[in-house]
Amino acid sequence: MADMRNKRRNPKSKTVFKGNRIDNEGKNLDVTIEIWDAGESSHIPRYNVIARDETGRIATGNGDNDLEVAIDIVHWQDLS
């Protein structure tokens, strides 16, 4: 669902980071974080962040024009 939302936004760029996270059961899981940038002239929030863990869980946020805020407002608990 998050991918469909980003396709409609027609992002100018996507940056991908890999990391890990410990879930509520104490398991260390690989996480892929995508930062979608719609560009400065976009009429929508510039940045949108999507995080996926190796089990297939997805966390997203509402997006923001400030990258730090866009990362902070991701619903990280959805990966727990």
Neighbours of 23 (CB within 10 A): 14
pLDDT in the model for residue 7: 47
pLDDT in the model for residue 12: 86
Q: Which residues pair with 28 in a beta bridge?
A: 22
pLDDT at 10 over 70: no
Q: What is the pLDDT of residues 30-48, one digit of tens each?
A: 999 999 999 988 888 999 9
**Confidence band for 4, pLDDT divided at 50, 70 and 90:** very low
Looking at every residue in the chain, the average pLDDT score rounds to: 88
CA dist 61 to 27, 28, 34, 70, 79, Å? 23, 22, 12, 7, 13
The domain limits of the chain are 2-79
